[in-house]
């Protein structure tokens, strides 16, 4: 492999690594970083339709919480 091609490949890999690290730093260092991470692992907590929301409404109605 010629030295110029090797240098070009190294620069491309370095740019990708730096951009990835910058994105991770921004994402996890933000105030919403922990919330974003939990949501990614657990999924959104919003029911998609009335059928999915019914058990939650029933559970809330039967609890003593306001």
Q: Is the pTM of this model over 0.75?
A: no
Instruction: Say if residue 33 is exposed, middle or buried (CB neighbours under 10 Å; 0-12, 13-18, 19+).
Output: middle
> In this predicted structure, what is the pLDDT of residue 35?
73
> For residue range 12-64, what is the model confidence (pLDDT) as tens digits?
999 999 999 998 888 777 777 777 777 777 666 665 666 666 666 666 667 66
Report the alpha-carbon distance of residue 20 to residue 28 in Å, rounded.
12
């Amino acid at each position: 492999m010629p030295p110029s091609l090797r240098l070009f490949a190294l620069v491309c890999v370095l740019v990708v690594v730096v951009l990835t690290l910058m994105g991770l730093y921004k994402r996890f260092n933000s105030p919403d970083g922990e919330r974003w991470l939990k949501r990614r692992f657990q999924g959104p907590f919003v029911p998609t339709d009335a059928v999915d929301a019914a058990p939650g409404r029933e559970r809330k109605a039967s609890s003593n919480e306001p």
